[in-house]
Structure 1
Amino acid sequence: MTTKFAKLEKFEGVNFRRWKKKMHFMLTTLKAPYMLTTPRPAEPEESVVEMAEETRKRQKWDNDDYICKAHILNGMSDALFDIHSEALCAKELWDTLELKYITEDASSKNFLVSDFNNYKMEDSRSVTEQYNELLGIYGQFKLHKMNMDESIAVSTIIDKLPPSWKDFKHNLKHQKEELSMVKLASHIRIEESLRAKESDI
């Protein structure tokens, strides 16, 4: 388990939703995610038997909370660890992270839309590389649960192909088959490969 946590990418303050899912999965393997929602058992007011049972429950909660909080903090960069290490319990830490970074994620959605819409492909760079950059932005849409129909994304990317690909762009737009992102990537790779061969002749 320790080695698995060592491989978990440290949270640096971006892509919180992805990190949150990975961290929740890791905590589930420790049977500790209940610590993110369960408050500490109350102090007993009844009989000695009930006091012993409640004390046992509180001790288990304290132990699980320590482990859960430690693993969350261990999954963060040193800078964020220093900021959040004073949290009283795992639930407080988790709630603080969600409040801060999901709010920031919401504002980053606007930047994602802007980045995707304003992206311009250039003739001076590999079109496949530029396509992959756009694909990365499109992947972030899904991560933020921003639904864009795939056919719209494909059509938008075709429109962004560089000026020297004008004929290729025209041919793609007049194809009868509906293109997926995967098929578009394949067409772009083939076209770029053919152009590279022609330039070598």
Structure 2
Amino acid sequence: MAGESIKDMSSKFSKLEKFEGHDFRRWKKKMHFLLTTLKVVYVQTTPMPAMPEASEEETLEQQRRRLKWENDDYICRGHILNGMCDALFDVYQNAESARDLWDSLDTKYMAEDASSKKFLVSNFNSYKISNNRPIMDQFNELQHILGQFEQHNMHMDESIVVSSIIDKLPQLWKDFKHTLKHKRRK
């Protein structure tokens, strides 16, 4: 029964979106879930069991643990690589272990994530609501930007968000803006 669910999960894996160099956080969470389900995610944080020194012989149990770790590392690395577009696969295919692969992806794309945070803040700050488009469409765009803030674990005080959105209203809404800003909560 458990073997069937892992087999189903592996076959459905191909339906997951390939990582193409953007939305790393989302892809990373999905990949971590898959690797956890396959029970191989531990190889990213657990070093390979050490071989005994030359004077000692490897026991059967030590050999089993080492071979299991090597097999799980191979499966983990293969699934991570399979979750990438062909261009990224070609770049990362020579990683020696799943941990090395994961660390190099994390280093590269989390650094880019920091610059995307700056981009998000800039988008939010420079967003202006215009009279030329439906207000709800524009409000939904702002909500989408704020949703991306949450995705990146960027939290802004609610009163700052509300005040910022009010400030983004067009000049023709001057009286309404004034009413909203000075209205007290009951």
Which bin holds the TM-score, normalised by the shorter protein? 0.7 to 0.9
Count residues in correspondence.
177
Aligned residue number for residue 32 of structure 2: 24
- Structure 2 CA distance, aligned partners of 1:173 and 1:3? 54
What does residue range 49-60 of structure 1 map to in structure 2 within 5 Å?
Answer: 50-60=58-68
Checking the alignment, whether the CA contact within 8 Å between 1:127 and 1:161 is kept in structure 2 is no
Task: Please tell me the residue identity of whatever aligns with 2:144.
Answer: G
Aligned residue number for residue 192 of structure 1: none
3-state SS in 2 of match to 1:7: coil
Checking the alignment, whether the CA contact within 8 Å between 1:65 and 1:89 is kept in structure 2 is yes
Unaligned runs of 5+ in 1: 179-201
3-state SS in 2 of match to 1:69: helix
What does residue range 4-83 of structure 1 map to in structure 2 within 5 Å?
Answer: 4-45=12-53, 47-48=56-57, 50-83=58-91
Task: Please tell me the residue identity of whatever aligns with 1:2.
Answer: S
Q: CA deviation at 1:77?
A: 1.8
Q: Percent identity?
A: 63
TM-score (norm 1): 0.79
- Structure 1 CA distance, aligned partners of 2:89 and 2:185? 51
Task: Please tell me the residue identity of whatever aligns with 2:60.
Answer: A
Cα 1:6–1:158 shift into 2, 3 Å: farther
Q: CA deviation at 1:15?
A: 2.2
Task: Please tell me the residue identity of whatever aligns with 1:81.
Answer: F
3-state SS in 1 of match to 2:169: coil
RMSD: 2.0
Unaligned runs of 5+ in 2: 1-8
Task: Please tell me the residue identity of whatever aligns with 1:90.
Answer: A
Aligned residue number for residue 140 of structure 1: 148
3-state SS in 1 of match to 2:59: helix
- Structure 1 CA distance, aligned partners of 2:105 and 2:49? 23
